[in-house]
A and B are shown apart, each in its own frame.
Chain A
Amino acid sequence: MALSHIFSWTFIYDFIRGPMVWISFIIFFCGVVFQVLRFMYLLKEQPVQKLEPGPGNIIHSQTVSHVKVDRVKTGWFKKGWFKKGPDKKDWMLWVKLSIAGVNPFMTIVTTIFHVLLIGVPVFVLGHNILLDNAFGVSMVSLPENVSDFLTGIVIFCTLIFLFRRLFLDRVKIITSYADYFFLSLAAAPFVTGYLAYHQVFSNYKLLISLHMLSGELMLMAVPFTKFMHMIYMIIVRFNVAGEYSFGNATKNW
């Protein structure tokens, strides 16, 4: 193979849509497995200390301690779920104190964003036809006008994230350039996919190459950057005793 061919546009194009897809998926999966194993390994070195609810852990807030007292009084969680459900008041308080109660708007935005971020690419016809051609697996796909609309919603959500970081002071002060970078990296496959579907520029090959490149970069970035929260968010909840983990609904400082 001539060297001049390797640097030719057609070769680069073929590489991006061929071997590069494999490379990025392998790095993604191996990276995730490596990080999970590393996490488990580091976890072993810590002394396991179960935090029990007790006097030391009482939270000095009127509302929060009310929840605790109320629960102990009725003891619904001891009697079991079926005999007597939790007091309606408990649930309302619980919701109000959770992030969904404190900031319902962002909770909705981030939920929609994450569901679509993971869901849409799986059901995009453009992906599934390529999968079908390559491996003979025909997956259900959304009608293209629907997936295109949902792509627009993802872009809209990232714009909300962006404006929050740009204009809300309390978010702005904890935002660094890296945050903008990763937000763009997450948005890039959607923006370029949208542009490609609508063939906005006449150079479709360039657009779709940028789409594939950005998608591949994003996949490869997942295990090694803050995108790893996708896995860590979940395993932290099960494995690290703390304020946010299951089974220990108490502050641990």
Chain B
Amino acid sequence: MKKIFVALACVVFVSGAYAYDELEFSGGKNRGPVLFDHELHMYDFDCLDCHHVMENGENILDDADLFEGNPDILCASCHDSQSEIDKTQAFHYQCMGCHNNYSLTSEPTGPTLCGECHILDK
């Protein structure tokens, strides 16, 4: 049922395909690349569930800033080797953290262990 709804939602709301519908992260030297179905997540969640600019513990990000090619919204623009949470941690905390919220429930969820995300291309 949910799938049908998602499919319908796609038809109704998507006026055009964006480059960020499907994102691919490199995964570095030893790990396979990660395919991130941005679009799927956009239907299930709020943009601000993931994208943030924190101030006094509050997310003050303006939806309007979320456009393609804006360098300031890329995670690495704030989460670099200097910050408390580096880039890899930012991704892992956010992605695996949310997927783990549905652990032991019957809700659909995303991958939680290394090889489910970092798929080696053979």
Contacts and interface: CB of A to CB of B under 8 A. Distances in A.
Interface of A: 2, 5, 8, 10-11, 14-15, 17-18, 126, 129, 132-133, 138, 143-145, 196-199, 204-205, 207-208
Given A10-B106, A129-B92, A208 B31 contact: no
Interface secondary structure of B, over-half rule: loop
Nearest to B116: A204
A70 to B, nearest CB: 54
Nearest to A143: B30
A207 B120 CA distance: 15
Contacts of A145: 29-30
A144 B92 contact: no
Interface of B: 29-32, 89, 92-93, 96-97, 100, 103-104, 106, 112-116, 119-120, 122
A5 B106 contact: yes
Contacts of B29: 145
26 contacts: A2-B106, A10-B106, A11-B106, A15-B104, A17-B113, A18-B104, A129-B114, A132-B89, A132-B92, A133-B92, A133-B93, A133-B97, A143-B30, A144-B31, A145-B29, A145-B30, A196-B115, A197-B115, A198-B120, A199-B32, A199-B120, A199-B122, A204-B116, A204-B119, A207-B115, A208-B114
Interface-centre pick from B29, B89, B103, B122 (highest chain A CB count, 10 A): B103
A132 B113 CA distance: 13
A11 B104 contact: yes
